[in-house]
Structure 1
Amino acid sequence: MAALGKIRGRGPILILIIGFGLFAFIAEEAFRSCEATQNDRRQQVGEVLGEKISVQDFQKMVDEYTEVVKMQQGTQSLNEEQLNQVKDVVWNTYVQTKILEKEANALGLTVTNAELQNILKEGSNPMLMQTPFVNRQTGRFDVSSLQKFLADYKAQKGTNPQLAQQYEPIYKYWSFIEKTLRQQVLGQKFQALFAHCLLSNPLEAKMAFKDSHEESQIQLASFPYSSIDDSKVKIAESDLKAKYNELKSRFQQYVESRDVKYVDIQVLPSTTDRQALQKQFADYSKELAAAADPAEVIRKSTSLVSYLGIPVLKTAFPSDIANRIDSMSVGQVWGPVESKQDNTLNIIKLVAKQQLPDSVQYRQIQVAGATIDAAHKTADSIYTALQNGADFEALAKKYGQTGEKAWLTTSQYQNTPSLDKDSKNYIVTVNSMAVNETKNLQMGQGNVIVQVLDRRGMVSKYTAAVIKKTIEFSKDTYSAAYNKFSSFVSANQSGADILKNAAKSGYSVQEANDVTTAVHYLANIHSTREALKWLFEAKEGDVSPMYECGDNDHLLVAVLDKIHPVGYRTLSDPQVRDMVKAEVMKDKKAEMLLTQLKGVSSIAAAKAKGGKIADVEQITFAAPAFISVTGASEPALSGAVSATAKGRFSKNAVKGNAGIYLFQVTNKKMRPGKYEDNEEQKLRQRYGQYASNFMNELFINAGVIDNRYLFF
């Protein structure tokens, strides 16, 4: 009992202890939950209609489309800009597909296998023309060629996995085309439903024809708003608020955006850096002039342009080199010269200039043996037999080859980064041989008997040694710029201080407004993903860390100036305020001009009031009239003119975008052309275009969240 009494006596303390314990437990669980949610978010590229997509799934789609683009372009890799375009296409396609699937499922819309087969048999869809299954003779998609490929692929998977692996890239490419084709057809069906909600009829078609073909000629009196000085217009805050409420729908924002002010410097080569490179190039120039074979000089210089040592077209060289090479004489050394277009220093030595065929038709027999000498001996006997009239293809087949004809074009080899000695010898020999000439070429591992059958497209070819190097800053130059900028950032901890003191330190403050998560770079500076991640986690007024970015040549610090959340931009927003003020200014000036023009009933009277008189022709209801006096398109004027009979003066003054207008209709006539039954079809096509605008409404309602900036 005594123990119970002690416990009761300390009851309030125990309650507090237990309460704190429970709170700590709940807080810990809440923290874990928040942390788990945050980690989950870090793995999500985005969200559409409540469905999240992980970075792994999105990357698979990016990889798939990257391979498609590489196959279409015939390249092995994509640069950074091309990869960004791929990611944008994949994201936009994913979003549209998800939205479309939801709407199509609700309506019961599908694309059946039978429909797809009909499209393949018809073969007219432009997407099919991008596949390898196009008949070269007819220029049309060949469904039988596709079916044969798919059957071969399926058979090889079971019997010859190695060959099936070679087929795999084309199979994946076709799978992508088929999937995309289904999505495209489904989208066309959905859009067609929208389009048929807007019906055309003969009466409407005739009115539309009249609106686009009836032209009016007028005498126009223009009274530009600019004729009234802004200082004469009094604008109250109540005027701005009233106009803002009237135009509020214009200022709706569907995704969050942020305004940032930043200081960015690009590190550039110093005078010392340039002088050091110039000294290097002076030495290279002497070495090139003296060298019988410039290959070693080019290798030592680490030039951006490889030296192949064979004749190639001008197109094989960078444009600044190609533009110069024609005017050079053989043996001449030109440079060092700076090229502003790619920030390089350049030297050229023209080794040779020749007239050679752009393409050569040839056939060959490759000869190998147990030893090099054995190969040479066999090749000599083959060559002798050919010289004595033996059949080339028959001899080729005797040695396990076809001896078939092939073409060697300059473009096949001129952009290769390097060539071995045998390849150079082969290319130079084939290009210089006469038609029907046969040669026995000794190679490192054997011989090649080659015969030239045709030479086409005689062109100028150049053997040129080029040293091209980027004018770069040194480590010392970068360190000096880094230390100076780092000191500036350290000395100015607040956003206000950075913005105020930047100019004193020799830096300029720049702005990037309305930045969204859809951008790839902050302020169009490469490698700023970390800065973007900071930007969308920061609060207004926050200062970023200092970033080393760009192409390893930029230093950046940013201040988050303003966050624009989803919803309506307010009147306190400077951009909104400026737009509203401009509209109020226009309204006020219009009122002043309309008061001034009361009672004016002729062009002469309008001129007396200060109107600028001009003849304007070819005004139709279907298009806004462009008025050169005010420099504006005026749809309201087009409507008023079309509604006024020939010979009549405008009943009321027209309030336009850039001024007030009065007019006299001097003539009306119909443009050449006859009303035809296809006018209704034209209207239906126009309605189809209108229907595509509804996709934007579906996008707005889909709750799209784009977090790609966290990963790409």
Structure 2
Amino acid sequence: MATLQKIRSKGPLLVIVIGLALFAFIAGDAWKVLQPHQGKQDVGEVNGEVLSAQDYQKMVDELSEVIKLTNGLNSLTEDQLNNVKDQVWQSYVNNKLIAEQAKKLGLKVTDAEIQAIIDQGTHPLLMQTPFRNPQTGMFDKDMLKKFLVDYANMDASKMPAQYVEYYQKMGAFWKFVEKTLAESTLAQKYQNLVTKSLISNPVSAEDAFKSRTEQSDLLLAGVPYSSISDSTIQVSDSEIKDRYNEKKEQFKQLVETRDIRYIDVKVVPSDADRKAVEKEVTEYSNQLAKTDSDFGTFIRSTGSSVNYSDVPVNKTVFPADVAARLDSTGVNEVYGPYYNQTDDSYNAFKVLAKVSSPDSIQFRQIQVYADTEEKTKTLADSIYNALKGGADFAAIAKIYGQTGEASWVNSQSWEGAELDADNSKFINALLNQPVNELTNLNVGQANLILQVMNKKGMQTKYKVAVVKRPVEFSKETYNAAYNKFSQFVAQNTTIDSMVKNAEESGYTLTPRTDLSSAEHYVGGVRSTREALKWIFAAKPGEVSPLYECGENDHLMVVALDKIHEAGYRDLNSVAEMLKNEIRRDKKADQIMADMKKYNSIAQVKGMKDAVSDSVKHVTFSAPAYISVTRASEPVIGAVAAKTAVNKVSAPIKGNAGVYMIQVYAKDKGTEKFDAKQEEATLNNMAVRIVGSQLINDLYQKAKVEDKRYLFF
């Protein structure tokens, strides 16, 4: 269990390292049973190689187990699972793209190379496994070998189920690590092959240094584009078409997207629903005052959203409204009922205990398990009596194939978690047992000989039974909302009629452009997969049936406006953006023609609608922010770097207006130029750029299909 605690403590960092090890290509609903779908059950394809729904599910399950193990979770939330699904898909695609390129180049990773990485023990991924020397903190291959030997020789029939499950999870985790090492090593080889071709030079290094360190202070005057009315600028269709052809490559999209409009109705509780919840919580608070045992059963019967824990915990574990009232409530006293506006709930709680409890506990244990319960008890009693008689703890532990080493456990590993009876019993034993004393604890099918070695961080902790009932709508309220919306949907079967009648009926028709099938929700509402499937099967102008979605608290109807197929966006979809761009350029031409008549900041200030400002510490490499036009203007930094002190620039076409600047001071700073360091910085920058762009280039050239939305 100490090993499990170590891996949990490194959980978040481990997931990050895994992501980084995959060449920075992995971008971070309850799992549903695979639904049948017409045709082959393939969730995607990369260059002709299909990924079946079954194989995809196995990969999602694998990563889900890793995340649960490393974070000490029993289950993942819907958002966490969606993130896992996306990570798995992106990782699968990236690895396939890299593997194809590596094969062409003759790159591969051998078992000997992976073993060499393990023997060396410095790979970041290995450093985040539990197989680390407790004295040095470094990866210990001998600890790994011992685990693998124990795992291979494990006799599941002679071990408690919980330990068999633990070893199986750890074994699956190590297989995941080995696979990830192989994939990341191949990716690293390919990355190195490409990035080693990118080199810097002393000239580029000096330019980069100057662009970063040389600063200019300047006076500025300009005329914003907003000073010219859009209505005075005419843009022809031919101009828009010409601009489209010039910038066509910018309008290429890799996947099909669709424009929709939808109505989302969230069902909310009625006044009668609120009064009913308030009445129930009032009754529960009266019962809570009379209850003096089996609080777990009672709290479950109330439908409280806060589980009961039979272990004292920090007040921060409780909801904020409960925590704020704990110190003013006495032991065995009931507080409430009361309403909490923050989470729209009615509440009552009873403080059962306030105790001083450790935040960290150091302990050691010997796990005892025999063929029968009677034999287990006899053996445990024998070991316990031997230890009480002065026998060496570590020596006896070694006899039974255990180290007996002491490990620390932090209260964060159990506080806030839903604990069963055995876990509560184990934790309470650790909390209540005096330091250096022994206890023989029966837990499930096994016995644990426990010795607490040290306790730290004594804090006031609380055992509280909480009834928290969020206000929820009743079945009658839901039916009323459903019937009303159902009638609207039946009477408005076209987009035009929806547009005409939605507001009058009390509904909002919301537009959404460029929805892709890779998104998990429609309109940010959970459980809308059926609506998403409809959207990507519908034709423009069609209106969907009514969908019940969310947490059974949303009703939705969707209309399909337009389909944007993979490839180049059509001219009409980007025409307005291009029109604004051309209009801005024409405004710039007008302003620049007028500004060219002047050769001083004072003269420009006299222009109609002119603005002025002073800007300090402008560099070539950092865009200057101009407060008077509220815009970032990179071009001003570039011009300032090339403009001599006291000189006035020519008119500058910027993002928000046309400017003229006068540099009145320059500062080279105190940093000394180091050519080698600067070249190394440029090389590292190039590597980062390649790392972020290379996979995108491979993706564009590959045939990738993502059909996960049909199944998951």
Q: TM-score range by the shorter chain?
A: 0.7 to 0.9
CA contact (8 A) 2:37 2:711 kept: no
How far does residue 367 in structure 1 lie from its aligned partner after superposition? 12
Moved more, 63-72 or 512-521: 63-72
Q: Deviations 1:495-525 (Å, cap 9, x if unpaired)?
A: 3222321222211111222111111111121
SS in 2 for 1:572: helix
Q: Which amino acid letter does the alignment assign opposite residue 464 of structure 1?
A: V
How far does residue 76 in structure 1 lie from its aligned partner after superposition? 2.8
Equivalent residue, structure 2, for 1:623? 622
SS in 1 for 2:457: strand
SS in 2 for 1:345: strand
Equivalent residue, structure 2, for 1:643? 642
The within-5 A match list for 1:500-519 is: 500-519=500-519
How far does residue 331 in structure 1 lie from its aligned partner after superposition? 4.0
How far does residue 80 in structure 1 lie from its aligned partner after superposition? 1.5
Equivalent residue, structure 1, for 2:666? 668
Equivalent residue, structure 2, for 1:277? 277
Equivalent residue, structure 1, for 2:49? 51
Distance 1:603 1:115, change over 3 A: same
Distance of 2:242 and 2:53 partners within structure 1: 46
Equivalent residue, structure 2, for 1:136? 134
Distance 1:165 1:668, change over 3 A: closer
Distance of 2:129 and 2:522 partners within structure 1: 37
SS in 1 for 2:559: strand
Equivalent residue, structure 1, for 2:586? 588
Q: Which amino acid letter does the alignment assign opposite residue 323 of structure 1?
A: A
* Residues 1:104 and 2:102 are matched in the alignment: yes
Distance 1:607 1:184, change over 3 A: same
CA contact (8 A) 1:330 1:351 kept: yes
The within-5 A match list for 1:312-323 is: 312-323=313-324
Equivalent residue, structure 2, for 1:8? none
Distance of 2:705 and 2:444 partners within structure 1: 61
Equivalent residue, structure 2, for 1:119? 117
Distance 1:453 1:570, change over 3 A: closer
Distance 1:249 1:399, change over 3 A: closer
Equivalent residue, structure 1, for 2:69? 71
Distance 1:230 1:149, change over 3 A: same
CA contact (8 A) 2:222 2:605 kept: no
Equivalent residue, structure 2, for 1:348? 349
Q: Which amino acid letter does the alignment assign opposite residue 618 of structure 1?
A: H
Q: Which amino acid letter does the alignment assign opposite residue 494 of structure 2?
A: S
Equivalent residue, structure 2, for 1:35? none
Distance of 1:408 and 1:273 partners within structure 2: 45
CA contact (8 A) 2:612 2:628 kept: no
CA contact (8 A) 2:160 2:445 kept: no
Moved more, 624-633 or 236-245: 236-245
CA contact (8 A) 1:294 1:465 kept: no
Q: Which amino acid letter does the alignment assign opposite residue 611 of structure 2?
A: K
Q: Deviations 1:557-594 (Å, cap 9, x if unpaired)?
A: 11111111122223322xx2331122122112111211
Which structure 1 residue ranges, 5 or more long, are not aligned? 1-37
Equivalent residue, structure 2, for 1:632? 631
Q: Which amino acid letter does the alignment assign opposite residue 578 of structure 2?
A: V
Q: Which amino acid letter does the alignment assign opposite residue 228 of structure 1?
A: I
Distance of 2:388 and 2:690 partners within structure 1: 74
Equivalent residue, structure 2, for 1:302? 303
CA contact (8 A) 2:37 2:710 kept: no
Distance of 1:593 and 1:499 partners within structure 2: 42
How far does residue 262 in structure 1 lie from its aligned partner after superposition? 0.9
The within-5 A match list for 1:401-480 is: 410=411, 414-415=415-416, 417=418, 431=431, 455-480=455-480
Equivalent residue, structure 2, for 1:528? 528
How far does residue 334 in structure 1 lie from its aligned partner after superposition? 2.3
Q: Which amino acid letter does the alignment assign opposite residue 298 of structure 1?
A: I
Equivalent residue, structure 1, for 2:337? 336
CA contact (8 A) 2:46 2:702 kept: yes
Distance of 1:69 and 1:602 partners within structure 2: 64
Equivalent residue, structure 2, for 1:198? 198
Which structure 2 residue ranges, 5 or more long, are not aligned? 1-35
SS in 2 for 1:351: strand
Distance 1:559 1:596, change over 3 A: same
How far does residue 444 in structure 1 lie from its aligned partner after superposition? 13
Aligned equivalent of 2:90, options 92, 95, 104:
92
How far does residue 149 in structure 1 lie from its aligned partner after superposition? 3.6
Q: Which amino acid letter does the alignment assign opposite residue 516 of structure 1?
A: S
Equivalent residue, structure 1, for 2:182? 182
Distance 1:394 1:490, change over 3 A: closer
TM-score normalized by structure 2? Answer: 0.83
Q: Which amino acid letter does the alignment assign opposite residue 312 of structure 2?
A: P
Equivalent residue, structure 2, for 1:214? 214
Q: Which amino acid letter does the alignment assign opposite residue 691 of structure 1?
A: V
Equivalent residue, structure 2, for 1:613? 612
How far does residue 659 in structure 1 lie from its aligned partner after superposition? 0.8
Distance of 2:133 and 2:400 partners within structure 1: 34
Equivalent residue, structure 2, for 1:689? 688
Q: Deviations 1:405-462 (Å, cap 9, x if unpaired)?
A: 7878655665564665x99788768756766788999999999999876554321122
Distance of 1:447 and 1:120 partners within structure 2: 36
Distance of 1:686 and 1:49 partners within structure 2: 31
Moved more, 356-365 or 153-162: 153-162
Distance of 1:417 and 1:132 partners within structure 2: 24
How far does residue 531 in structure 1 lie from its aligned partner after superposition? 1.0
How far does residue 315 in structure 1 lie from its aligned partner after superposition? 3.6
CA contact (8 A) 1:361 1:405 kept: yes
Moved more, 220-229 or 295-304: 295-304
CA contact (8 A) 2:72 2:413 kept: no
Distance 1:567 1:624, change over 3 A: same
Count of residues in Structure 1 that have an aligned counterpart in Structure 2 = 669
The within-5 A match list for 1:189-268 is: 189-268=189-268
Aligned equivalent of 2:597, options 596, 599, 606:
599
CA contact (8 A) 2:285 2:348 kept: yes
How far does residue 134 in structure 1 lie from its aligned partner after superposition? 1.9
Q: Which amino acid letter does the alignment assign opposite residue 337 of structure 1?
A: Y
TM-score normalized by structure 1? Answer: 0.83
SS in 1 for 2:247: helix
CA contact (8 A) 2:277 2:469 kept: no
Distance of 1:363 and 1:268 partners within structure 2: 52
Q: Which amino acid letter does the alignment assign opposite residue 328 of structure 1?
A: T
Q: Deviations 1:320-372 (Å, cap 9, x if unpaired)?
A: 3223323323344322233344443211122332334445667899999xxx9
Q: Which amino acid letter does the alignment assign opposite residue 305 of structure 2?
A: L
Distance of 2:179 and 2:366 partners within structure 1: 45
SS in 2 for 1:504: coil
How far does residue 304 in structure 1 lie from its aligned partner after superposition? 2.8
Distance of 2:206 and 2:413 partners within structure 1: 59
CA contact (8 A) 1:72 1:130 kept: no
Distance 1:462 1:561, change over 3 A: same
Q: Which amino acid letter does the alignment assign opposite residue 181 of structure 1?
A: L
* Residues 1:542 and 2:569 are matched in the alignment: no
CA contact (8 A) 2:259 2:514 kept: yes
Flag the structure with larger Rg: 1
Q: Which amino acid letter does the alignment assign opposite residue 229 of structure 2?
A: D
Distance of 2:155 and 2:636 partners within structure 1: 70
Q: Which amino acid letter does the alignment assign opposite residue 619 of structure 1?
A: V
SS in 1 for 2:192: helix
C-alpha RMSD over aligned residues: 4.3
Equivalent residue, structure 2, for 1:485? 485
Moved more, 431-440 or 551-560: 431-440
Distance of 1:159 and 1:464 partners within structure 2: 40
CA contact (8 A) 1:42 1:710 kept: no
Distance of 1:655 and 1:52 partners within structure 2: 51
Distance of 1:400 and 1:349 partners within structure 2: 45
CA contact (8 A) 2:160 2:446 kept: no
What is the percentage of aligned positions where both structures have the same residue?
Answer: 46
CA contact (8 A) 1:333 1:347 kept: yes
How far does residue 237 in structure 1 lie from its aligned partner after superposition? 3.1
